[in-house]
Amino acid sequence: MDVILQSLAVVLQPSHLLMLICGVFMGLAIGILPGLGGIVGMTILLPVIYGMDPHSAFGLLIGMVAVIPTSDTFPSVMMGIPGSSASQATIMDGYPLAKKGEAARALGAAFTASLIGGLFGALVLTIIIPIARPVVLSFGSPELFMLALLGMSMVGVLSGNKPIKGILAAGIGVMIGALGDAPAVPEYRYTFGLDYLMDGIPLVVVGLGLFAFPEIVDLMIKGRSIAEVTTLGKGWLDGVKDALKHKFIVLRCSVIGVIVGFLPGLGGSVVDWIAYGHIIQTTKDRENFGKGDIRGVIAPESANNAKEGGGLIPTFLFGIPGSGSMAVFLGGLLILGIQPGPSMVTEHVDLIYTAIWSLALANVFGAAISIALSKPITRLTVIPFSYLAPFMVLIITFASYQATRSWGDLIALLFMGILGWVMKQYGWPRPAALIGYVLSNNLETYLFISVQRYGFEWLTRTGVIVLAVIIIGSLAMGIFYQAKKSSKASGSEEGKGK
C-alpha cells in the first residue's frame, strides 16, 4: 500500500504531470490521424526518452498510448474512418448516429465508456501485481524462454487468418532482431560488411518503417480528403447518461478488453469487434445495430481502452508484449535501463504503480480534454491528408535519425518502410514481426543461459513442459481452426461454381 501511495505522490509531481499531459496531447493527435496508432506514437517518442528519469518517461509513454483509443473515436464517428485499428467497430453505430445529427451523444457515450474501461484496466493491473508476484518469481530463464516462444506462437497464430504467415512474420522479426552483434560471443551477424548493421537495426527505425511509413503511403495513395463537415449536434449529457445506464455492458466489455489485451497477438484490431459481437449476441432487441444504436458505440469503446491495462500485465511481469504498441513500450523500458520480467516485481514495483496511476490519470485527462476540445478537434479531422503527410514524413525521418544519428537510419527506414508496405498488402501481420523483433534478443539470451546453466535438462523442468504443451496446443488449435475455415470457404466456392 505504501508503494502505491508513494507512486501516486510521484505521479502528482508537476514534472511528471507535465510529461503525462504532453503524452496525452500527443496521443490525442495520433488517434485523430486515420491509420496511425499506438505503435507509431510510441516509436516517435522513443528518441525523446533517452536519458530521461523513468517515472517521467512512463508519464509520457503511458499518457500517449492510453488515450489513443479515446481520440480515435473522432474520425470513426465524424467521418466513418477508423482513427486506429482499435476503433473500427465504433463506426458501425457511431457514424450513423453522427449522420442523424447525434455525433455529440455518440462521442459523449464513447468518452465515458472509454474512461470507465481505462480505469477498469488500471484497477485489474493493480490487483494482479501482488497476486502474480510469487508465480512470476518462480520463473527462471528456461520458463522465460518458453514464455517468449509462447508469446510469439500466439502472435503468429492469432494475428492473421493464416497461422503459417503469422509465424513467418514473427520469424522475419526475429531474424531482423538477430542482425548485428551476438549476445553470447563477440561476433557480428548478417552485416553484409556494413558498419551500420553491427549494432543491428534500431527499434525506432523498425517501428516507424513497418508501421508509420506504410500508413503514410496508403493515405497518400488514397488521396483521402474529407468530403463534408459533420456538425457535432447536441446531446453530450445524453451520451454520458447512456454509458452510465448501460453500466453492465461497459463492465462486461471492459473485462473482454483486459483479457484480449493480456493475450499476445490479438491486440487492438480485434478487441472492438469481439466486444461488438458480444453485445449483439447478448442483446434481444438488436434490430437497431448498424443503424445508430448507442450500445454499439459503448461496447467497443469500453473494451479498447481496458485492453491497455491488460496488455501491460505480460509486458511488465514476463517481458512478453501483448501487442505491437506494448512491444515498443518494452523497447522503451530497455532504453531506460529497466529489464522487464520478474525483476520488475522486486526491484521496480514503484514503476509499475507509476504506470498504473499514469494509465488511470491519462484516461481521465484524455476523456476530459476530448470533451472540452471536441469542437476544434472535430475541425482537425477535416484537414485533407495531403496537408499532413509532408509533416509526418518530417517526423518519421527526424525521429529515425535520432536512433544512431547516421545516414544508415534513414536508409534502413526506407527499406523497412517498403518491407512494411509489402507485408501490409499481402496479409503478413506486421505486429507479429515487431513482437518477433523485440523478443529476438531475449529469446536468444534466455536460451543461452538455460543451456549454460542446466544443459539439456532445462527441457525437463515442469514449467517448461507445461508451457510446451500450451504452445503445441495453441498452434494445433490455430491450424485446425484455419483448416476448418478454409474447407468451409472452398466448399462455398465450389457451391457457387455449381
Partner 1 sequence: MMRNLGIVFSVLVTLAFGYGIYEAFSYAYLAKIFPLYISLVLCVLAVINLIQEFRASRKGLGADSKTTADLESEWGDIPMSDVLQRFSVFVVVMIVLYALVWLIGYPLGITLFIIILYRYVSRTKWHWAIVAGLAGLGFLALVSKLLYMDWPEGIFKLPWPLG
Rg (CA), the chain: 22
> Is 47 or 463 the residue whose CB approaches partner 1 more closely?
47
> Is 422 or 465 the residue whose CB approaches partner 1 more closely?
422
Query: Residue 450 Cβ, how far from partner 1 at the closest point, in Å?
Result: 12
Interaction pattern, residues 315-344, with partner 1; x per rule: CB under 8 A: ---------x--------------------
Q: Is 470 in the site for partner 1 (CB under 8 A)?
A: no
Tell the burial category of 269 from Cβ atoms under 10 Å away from its Cβ (0-12, 13-18, 19+).
Answer: buried
Stretch that binds partner 1, among 160-168, 200-208, 253-261, 304-312 (CB under 8 A): 160-168
> Is 348 or 424 the residue whose CB approaches partner 1 more closely?
424
380 CB-near residues (< 8 Å, 6+ apart): 32
Q: Is 425 in the site for partner 1 (CB under 8 A)?
A: yes
Query: Residue 178 Cβ, how far from partner 1 at the closest point, in Å?
Result: 5
Q: Is 47 in the site for partner 1 (CB under 8 A)?
A: yes
> Is 250 or 438 the residue whose CB approaches partner 1 more closely?
438
Give the number of other CB atoms < 10 A from CB of residue 482: 17
Q: Is 287 in the site for partner 1 (CB under 8 A)?
A: no
Query: Residue 489 Cβ, how far from partner 1 at the closest point, in Å?
Result: 8
Contact with partner 1 (CB under 8 A) among 56, 76, 159, 374: 159
Q: Is 404 in the site for partner 1 (CB under 8 A)?
A: no
Contact with partner 1 (CB under 8 A) among 5, 12, 135, 164: 164
Stretch that binds partner 1, among 60-68, 104-112, 211-219, 282-290 (CB under 8 A): 211-219
Identity of the residue numbered 467 = L
Beta strand 188-189 with 180-181: parallel, antiparallel or unpaired?
antiparallel
Backbone phi, psi, residue 318, to 5° = -120, -5
Q: Quote the CA–CA distance of 145 and 179 in Å, as a whole number.
A: 19
> Is 347 or 481 the residue whose CB approaches partner 1 more closely?
481
Contact with partner 1 (CB under 8 A) among 265, 292, 300, 314: 265
Q: Is 415 in the site for partner 1 (CB under 8 A)?
A: no
Q: Is 472 in the site for partner 1 (CB under 8 A)?
A: no
Interaction pattern, residues 165-204, with partner 1; x per rule: CB under 8 A: xxxx--xx-xx--x---x-xx-x-xx--------------
Stretch that binds partner 1, among 127-135, 218-226, 289-297, 328-336 (CB under 8 A): 218-226
Contact with partner 1 (CB under 8 A) among 158, 203, 208, 344: 158
Q: Is 85 in the site for partner 1 (CB under 8 A)?
A: yes
Closest to 296 measured CA to CA, from 84, 69, 90: 90
Query: Residue 223 Cβ, how far from partner 1 at the closest point, in Å?
Result: 9
> Is 364 or 395 the residue whose CB approaches partner 1 more closely?
395
Contact with partner 1 (CB under 8 A) among 103, 432, 439, 471: 432
Interaction pattern, residues 93-132, with partner 1; x per rule: CB under 8 A: ----------------------------------------
Query: Residue 418 Cβ, how far from partner 1 at the closest point, in Å?
Result: 7
Stretch that binds partner 1, among 140-148, 157-165, 193-201, 286-294 (CB under 8 A): 157-165
Q: Is 389 in the site for partner 1 (CB under 8 A)?
A: yes
Q: Is 277 in the site for partner 1 (CB under 8 A)?
A: no
